[in-house]
Amino acid sequence: MSVQDNNFYLCGLHKNFFMKPILSRYTLFLFLVFAIGCKKNEENTTIAAAKITNAIRYAKGFELYKYEGYSTVKVSNPWPDANKTFTYVLHKKGVAIPDSLKNYIAVQVPIKNIVVTSTTHIPSLEMLGVENTLLGFPNTEYISSEKTRKLIDAGKVKEVGENQLLNTEVLIDLAPDAIVGYSSSSDTKAYDNLEKSGLKILFNGDWTEESPLGKAEWIKFFGALYGLDEKAEQLFSEVETAYKEASELAKKATTRPTVLSGAIYKGQWYMPRGNSWASLFLKDANADYLWADTEGTGSLSLSFETVLEKAENVDFWVGPAQFTTFKEMTDSNPNYAYFKAFKDKNVYSFSSKKGKTGGLLYYELAPNRPDLILKDLIKILHPEILPDYELYFFEKLK
């Protein structure tokens, strides 16, 4: 009999125990010991049941655990190849934090105001309806959203410098409840200095996620900060459902067109690797991305000759870097005209959809709305499946 079976058996003794007319002190002592042990087991079970498992299903870079009165957020991949995990304790007012968590950054929630540092953070604030709490942003001209641009134009969102050269004085004066940091490497001196000044820094690694739904799930990070967990879950579930439905629709396509991506930069052709974010969209859109079998994430670096040899007769060219017209492409490199997709005018770009100060809508909103990206690609590659859908991010080159 196992320890668990033995405990279960002993906890059942009390049902027949009192049928005996006489109890020896020793027997009574044993009974009390077993009864107390059973009670402890029940208490331990209750404590274990109170802990909710990780609320994150797709994202690999963070975990969210909810307890009575507080949550813990563990960010494990704030930048590529990070070797440090950041843990944040988000607690309600008056809630005592366990001793085991007191060495971590603690933030009282719901927060009332915030500074964020990546355009990918803006859509989460807007979707949750808390964009009015934004106090500052570095390089505000990169923000393309009309809603947040109105706040900037009204002077409600302050310029706080550049991401690696944040203006400490301005941020101290703003005194936000939290600064959500973005860093491309382990060089976080700007944030370290702010933390020493008493400001709460929370790193966000949404941009390092590889899967479409993994990026979108970071809205739950902001939901936890604002005490809007249920709303964040609902918003994400709507995106998740729409994405999966679109993916199922794509499977009905009777053709599987070949696709090329990327363009030449400083003599090398850069395009998505087979397991990258962009490549996974093409897979779910039922496309034959010609480099889908390459390993890893990030970008491939290839010679023009290598790309032309494999993709000269490609059906579609999606995401040709910054180009928005065919003339721009041939002015940059006349050899682009050799590709069939170029000749057939089947080249689509997201670079033409910009905010009034030049920020690209795709870089800002796309991570939060993978369902719209997928529908765009299905419309481009299989127009018969979504006949009434209008492209949101992409546009055919002029």
Interatomic CA distance for residues 350 and 278, integer angstroms? 13
Domain boundaries, the chain: 3-50, 62-240, 251-396
Look at residues 202, 219, 151 and name the one whose alpha carbon lies nearest to residue 368: 219
- Cβ neighbours around 105 below 10 Å, total: 15
Vertex 105 angle, CA 99 and 111, to 5° = 115
CATH dotted code for 62-240: 3.40.50.1980
Q: What would the two tokens of residue 251 be?
A: 């499977």
In the prediction, which pLDDT does 27 show? 41
User: Looking at this protein, which amino acid is placed at residue 279?
Assistant: S
Q: What 3-state DSSP class applies to 197?
A: coil
Buried b (16+ CB within 10 A) or exposed e, 278-311: bbbbbebbbbbbbbbebeebebbebeeeebbeeb
In the prediction, which pLDDT does 132 show? 98
In the prediction, which pLDDT does 5 show? 36
Task: Indicate the fold that domain 251-396 takes in CATH.
Answer: Rossmann fold (3.40.50)
Domain pair 62-240 / 251-396, same fold = yes
Q: What is the dihedral of CA 22, 25, 29, 32, to 10 degrees?
A: 40
Is the previous residue joined to 110 through a cis bond, with omega within 30 degrees of 0?
A: yes
Look at residues 221, 213, 232 and name the one whose alpha carbon lies nearest to residue 373: 213
- 78 neighbors 205 (Cβ within 8 angstroms): yes
**Rg (alpha carbons) of the chain, rounded to whole number:** 27
Task: Give the Å distances, CA to CA, from 114 to 71, 88, 199, 233, 365.
Answer: 18, 16, 11, 21, 19
CA dihedral sign of residues 353, 358, 361, 367: positive
> Looking at the chain, how many residues does it have?
398
Q: For residue 90, give the H/E element and its range.
A: strand 86-91
Q: What would the two tokens of residue 337 be?
A: 């005209």
Residue ranges, the chain, pLDDT below 50: 1-50
In the prediction, which pLDDT does 214 show? 97
Buried b (16+ CB within 10 A) or exposed e, 130-140: bbebbbbbbeb
- 313 neighbors 260 (Cβ within 8 angstroms): no
In the prediction, which pLDDT does 304 show? 97
- 11 neighbors 38 (Cβ within 8 angstroms): yes
Interatomic CA distance for residues 200 and 177, integer angstroms? 7
